[in-house]
Chain A
Amino acid sequence: MPVFFLITGSVMGNMELREYLSPVISDGAGFISWKVIPDYPTFEHYGKLLFMTPQFFVLFWNSIKLTVIILAGQLIVGVPAAWGFAVYKFKGSEVIFALYVVLMLLPFQVTMLSSYLVLNTLGMLDTHSAVILPAVFSTFPVFLAYGGFRTIPMQLIEAARIDGAGEFRIFCKIGLPLGKSGILSAVVLGYLEYWNMMEQPMAFIENKALWPLSLYLPEITWSQAGSAFAASVITLVPAVFVFIWGQDYLEQGIIFSGLKE
Chain B
Amino acid sequence: MRKRSHFTWRSKFILFMAPSLVGMFIFVIIPFADVVRRSFYTVVTKQFSGFTNYRTIFTNQAFMLAVKNTLRFTLVCIPLLVLIGLLAALPLSKLKNAGAIKSLYLFPLAMPTATVVMVWKMFFYRQGFINLLLTKLGTMSGLWGEVHKDYLGSSAAFWVLVISYIWKNTGYTVILWLAGILGIPNELLEAARVDGASERQCFMKIVLPNLKGSLYTIVILSFLNSFKIYREAYLTAGAYPQQDIYLLQHLFNNWFVNLDFDKMAAATVCVGVFLFIVILILQRLWDSR
Q: Is B224 an interface residue (CB 8 A)?
A: yes
The stretch that binds A, out of B46-54, B57-65, B108-116, B201-209, is: B108-116
In the complex, are the beta carbons of A228 and B118 less than 8 A apart? yes
Q: Determine the interface band of chain A, counting residues with CB < 8 A from chain B.
A: 35 or more
In the complex, are the beta carbons of B217 and A260 less than 8 A apart? yes
In the complex, are the beta carbons of B6 and A90 less than 8 A apart? yes
Docked Cα-Cα span, A233 to B114, in Å, equals 11
In the complex, are the beta carbons of A103 and B28 less than 8 A apart? yes
Q: Known contacts A31-B127, A195-B112, A258-B179; is A105 also within 8 Å of B31 by CB? A: no
Docked Cα-Cα span, A28 to B127, in Å, equals 8
Q: Which chain B residue lies CB-closest to A137?
A: B23
Q: Is the interface of B mostly helix, strand, loop or mixed?
A: helix
B: number of interface residues (CB 8 Å): 81
Q: Known contacts A31-B135, A32-B127, A32-B129; is A239 also within 8 Å of B112 by CB? A: yes
In the complex, are the beta carbons of B32 and A111 less than 8 A apart? yes
Residues of B within 8 A of A117 (CB): 31, 34-35
Q: Is the interface of A mostly helix, strand, loop or mixed?
A: helix
In the complex, are the beta carbons of B106 and A24 less than 8 A apart? no
Q: Is B170 an interface residue (CB 8 A)?
A: no
A147 to chain B, nearest CB (A): 11
Residues of B within 8 A of A217 (CB): 112, 114-115, 118
Q: Known contacts A31-B131, A76-B19, A247-B106; is A105 also within 8 Å of B279 by CB? A: yes
Q: Which chain A residue lies CB-closest to B250?
A: A109
Q: Is A164 an interface residue (CB 8 A)?
A: no
The stretch that binds A, out of B75-83, B155-163, B189-197, B260-268, is: B260-268
Docked Cα-Cα span, A55 to B12, in Å, equals 48
Chain B positions within 8 Å of A, measured between CB atoms, are 6, 9-10, 12-17, 19-21, 23-24, 26-28, 30-32, 34-35, 102-103, 106-107, 109-119, 121-122, 125-129, 131-132, 135, 172, 175-176, 179, 213-214, 216-218, 220-221, 223-224, 227-228, 230-231, 234-235, 248-249, 252-253, 256, 261, 264-265, 268, 271-272, 275-276, 279, 286
Chain A positions within 8 Å of B, measured between CB atoms, are 1-3, 5-6, 21, 23-24, 27-34, 76-78, 80-81, 83-85, 87-88, 90, 92-93, 96, 102-118, 133-134, 136-137, 139, 142, 167, 171, 192, 195-196, 198-199, 202-203, 213-215, 217-218, 228-229, 232-233, 235-236, 239-240, 242-243, 247, 250-251, 254-255, 257-260
